[in-house]
Amino acid sequence: MDNSKNVACFKEVMGNYPTGVTVVTTVDEQGVPLGLTVNSFASVSLDPLLVLWSIDKRVSTYETFIKTDKFAVHVLSADQGDICSLFASRDIDRFGNCEWALSEQNLPIIAGASGVMQCKTFKTIEAGDHTILIGEVVAIESENKEPLLYHKRKFGKIPDEFYI
C-alpha cells in the first residue's frame, strides 16, 4: 500500500479520536519560560505517579524539552481555547499574552487550567519523528473544571447533550 495513503488515513483516524488538550511548560538554561500545546498526553502509572507526552523533533523548543529535568503539564479548561491557540502559534510572545507565575519548582504555571502536574523527567524514548517524555508527578493541583477537547482539528468543551 502507498505510504502517503497510509499517512493520510492515519491522520484522518487520529483526527477523529477526541482528546484532551494540554500545554506543557518549562524554563530554558537562562530561566526563560517555554511552552507548547500538546494533545499527545496520557497517564502511565499510579506507583509512581507517571504521565507521558510526545514532542515533534522539528519544533524549535525540542532541544530544551529533551534536556530539561522538569516540566509542567496543564490540562486546559473548556474556557482556555485562547491559551491553546496561543501556545500553538509561532513567532509570538506566549507568556507575555497570558497570566502565569513561577512555581516553587521554578516552573511556569499558567493560570486557569483545570489541573496542573509538575513533573521531574523520568525517561525519554525515541519514537519515529517524535520523542516521548515520561514525567514523575511531584506536585499536582486540580480546579475540577470542564476540560478543553480536541476533535477533527477543532477545540471545544464537552457538549451538554453528552451528559445523561
Contact 134, 69 (CB under 8 A): no
Is 13 within the bounds of a domain? no
Angle at 69 between CA 63 and CA 74, to 5 degrees: 85
Q: What is the pTM of this model?
A: 0.91
Q: pLDDT-derived band of residue 161, with 50, 70 and 90 as boundaries?
A: low
pLDDT above 80 (res 22): yes
Per the structure, how many domains does the chain have?
1
pLDDT in tens, 127-153: 999 999 999 999 999 999 999 988 777
Is 63 within the bounds of a domain? yes
Is 161 within the bounds of a domain? no
Is 5 within the bounds of a domain? no
Is 9 within the bounds of a domain? no
Is 12 within the bounds of a domain? no
Is 109 within the bounds of a domain? yes
Contact 137, 51 (CB under 8 A): yes
Provide the residue range defining the domain that includes 111.
21-155
As given in the structure block, the three cell numbers for residue 51 are: 504521565
Q: 3-state DSSP call for residue 97?
A: helix
CATH number of residue 105's parent domain: 2.30.110.10
Is 78 within the bounds of a domain? yes
Amino acid 47: pLDDT? 96
- The mean per-residue pLDDT over the stretch 3-30 comes to 87
Amino acid 2: pLDDT? 66
Give me the chain's average pLDDT, please.
92
pLDDT above 60 (res 124): yes
